[in-house]
Structure 1
Amino acid sequence: MTAPGGEDTVRTVGSGWARARERGAAALDYLGITVVGALVVTGLTLLAPGTASSVVAAGQQAVCAVTTKLPGGSCPDLLQSPADLADDVGATGDPYVDRRWTRAEVTSGGLVFLGDSYGSGEGAKDYDPTTDQTGENSWWDDLWGRTPPPKNMCHRSGNAAFHQVSGDWFGGSSSTFASCSGARTRDYWEETQGNDESAQRDALDENTSLVVVSMGGNDMQFADVLMSCAPVGGGSVDDCVGHWMDPQDPDDPTSSRWEQNLLRVFGTEPGGGNLGEVYADIRARTGDNAHVVVVGYPLVFDPDYDGIVFSGEEADWMNERGVELNARLREAAEHHGFTFVDPTEAFAGHGVGSDDPWILTFGFWGDHRARPPESYHPTARGQQAIADLIDEHLRSLP
């Protein structure tokens, strides 16, 4: 998209990663010194726990002399762990949580979409060609000895909610589409797994004024839950539920696969876990200048579903897990002062098995059917519904 009278400023993190690699050779001059400095700081901290904070502070100042010469380098990014970042941000807590945002503030800077396939538009078709590359050549390209393109299956759709929000509120400019199909919380911190993309957090800075996040479903292995309940191997609903809900340790009721996932993603206290660290870092990276909207997940199945791939009982159980996931996402978002948008009501009557589905089911042909990874994702109409919810929230601001 192009800003009025200007150049195209809608970008994806992939292009930023490519530019970073071009600058990589220069950065290597400083890498050895940086690593040594970081190791010295770590060693001193372990040897003198009572003086850890002062040692680390001094070490950071020393290493900064080197790291600030790196393109975009800074001590906090290179030395602080996600937990450290979360602790730092906690000091600003209440004023941010209680902040009353205005539309003018929220749309004054840049827009960034972060997260997974529900944000990227998996299933909504019309993918950006650079995010629909398997990393393999066709037989024709192999015949001519052509180098295959880098693998990137982020599947950023031209029908994703991002484009409507960007166009309606940011004039199609100052917008970064970093959401990537399959992304987990680790992809916020690191190069996206299996794709030629930088960490999603690199899309954020103090000029960002609105962040939209769809994240957590892959960390909860929700796609695995769906596929393990499919009766491909002659399984039953008892097998499916038991696999995820039965304790792996008879003496520990929290040892089920599902409970362990909840603990890892959300922690033992509100706002904790892997997702809490991401939320805290979003605030740190944006300097508390960004309004953050967390979008939940629509319930996949219509209440009256009783199909071939799953039984009605299995569909009900998976919808219950979706309700639980959204409740935890809401709690985490509100703890960090973010707004939670729940698509459950908007998708009512439009789940798999309904007369007008906005979510694709599994299949090889026919309307509203798709093979993985597109199956069980919103259609273009579903993405429009998500965009409408974000739009409704923004219009509610003073």
Structure 2
Amino acid sequence: MRRSRLAAYVSSLLLATVAVLTQAGPAQAATGPYVALGDSYSSGVGAGSYIGSSGDCKRSTKAYPYLWAAANSPSSFSFTACSGARTGDVLANQLTPLTSATALVSISVGGNDAGFSDVMTTCVLQSDSSCLSRINTARAYVDSTLPAQLDNVYSAISGRAPNARVVVLGYPRFYKLGTTCVGLSETKRKAINDAADYLDTAIAKRAADHGFAWADVRGNFTGHELCSGSAWLHSLNLLNIGESYHPTASGQSGGYLPVFRNAA
């Protein structure tokens, strides 16, 4: 009986220690400076409610970084993510707010480098074979060139903000498959989804190698893809072409925010 009570006491101590350790990181991140970097999926293109001073970067008050900052009140919030940003743009234009005091960094980048916009344009306007060919070109770029570009960005973040928790967010799959849907063929939809998976896998690998947290949004978007009847993504929008294939406000709050909150 004494051994049983001792084992129970030790177990309770271990559980308490684990609880403290697992809560310490997010709590610290929530109180320290937060910097949000990246492309349109982080700036909030497609969510509306754009901040006037952000201009063509289209930073939204409904984007996940803004929502997280509003809920957690970090000591400072620097929102430099920008529509259309590639890895080189992040390096050139977005890193200034990072310092040794920065506690939390979020970033999504890589889709524009891999030619996301051109892939979607090709797949919407051209044949199945042209779509698959353009996707294969993008996949080759992801294999040969993107890893080094991500390394440059991630190394720069670590160099400027060595004490920060860095959360790298990926991209959703775009289409629900196996259902009747006006627009692209099933062949194109599947190829685009597979390409999103391919890109996410490459980004997640580079994030892990740099010791960064990976926030995978694909699970949250399942059931809310295009053709699902409850989409959290804009389809082709000829009136506002830039918002096409970007998360809606619901995609930011329901798809991106919970994953980031859990990782931060």
> Per-residue displacement from partner, 1:277-324 (whole Å, max 9, x unpaired)?
1101101001x2100000010111112355443111101100000011
Partner of 2:9: none
5 Å-filtered alignment, 1:1-398, equals 102-131=25-54, 152-171=55-74, 173-190=75-92, 199-231=93-125, 235-245=126-136, 256-266=137-147, 273-286=148-161, 288-304=162-178, 306-364=180-238, 371-385=240-254, 386-394=256-264
Contact 1:305 / 1:315 at 8 angstroms: preserved in 2?
no
Contact 2:135 / 2:195 at 8 angstroms: preserved in 1?
no
Identity %: 32
For the aligned residues, what is the CA RMSD?
Answer: 1.9
Contact 1:304 / 1:353 at 8 angstroms: preserved in 2?
no
3-state SS, counterpart of residue 361 of structure 1: coil
Counterpart AA for 1:382: G
Counterpart AA for 1:213: I
Contact 1:111 / 1:170 at 8 angstroms: preserved in 2?
no
Contact 1:220 / 1:262 at 8 angstroms: preserved in 2?
no
Partner of 1:55: none
3-state SS, counterpart of residue 262 of structure 2: helix
Partner of 1:17: none
> Per-residue displacement from partner, 1:114-139 (whole Å, max 9, x unpaired)?
000000000000111123xxxxxxxx
Q: Could you tell me the TM-score, scaled by structure 1's length?
A: 0.58
| Cα distance in 1, alignment partners of residues 214 and 84 from structure 2 | 21
- The size of the alignment, in residue pairs, is 242
Q: Identify, as 1 or 2, the structure richer in helix.
A: 2
Counterpart AA for 2:152: E
How far does residue 242 in structure 1 lie from its aligned partner after superposition? 2.1
| Cα distance in 2, alignment partners of residues 189 and 342 from structure 1 | 23
3-state SS, counterpart of residue 214 of structure 2: strand
Q: Which has the higher contact order (CA 8 A, sep 6+)?
A: 2
How far does residue 181 in structure 1 lie from its aligned partner after superposition? 0.5
How far does residue 261 in structure 1 lie from its aligned partner after superposition? 4.2
Contact 1:110 / 1:170 at 8 angstroms: preserved in 2?
no
> Per-residue displacement from partner, 1:338-362 (whole Å, max 9, x unpaired)?
0001000100010111111100001
Contact 1:165 / 1:391 at 8 angstroms: preserved in 2?
yes
Partner of 2:13: none
3-state SS, counterpart of residue 219 of structure 2: coil
Gap regions ≥5 residues in structure 2: 1-20
| Cα distance in 2, alignment partners of residues 316 and 306 from structure 1 | 13
3-state SS, counterpart of residue 127 of structure 1: coil
Contact 2:139 / 2:198 at 8 angstroms: preserved in 1?
no
Contact 1:305 / 1:352 at 8 angstroms: preserved in 2?
no
How far does residue 223 in structure 1 lie from its aligned partner after superposition? 1.5
3-state SS, counterpart of residue 102 of structure 1: helix
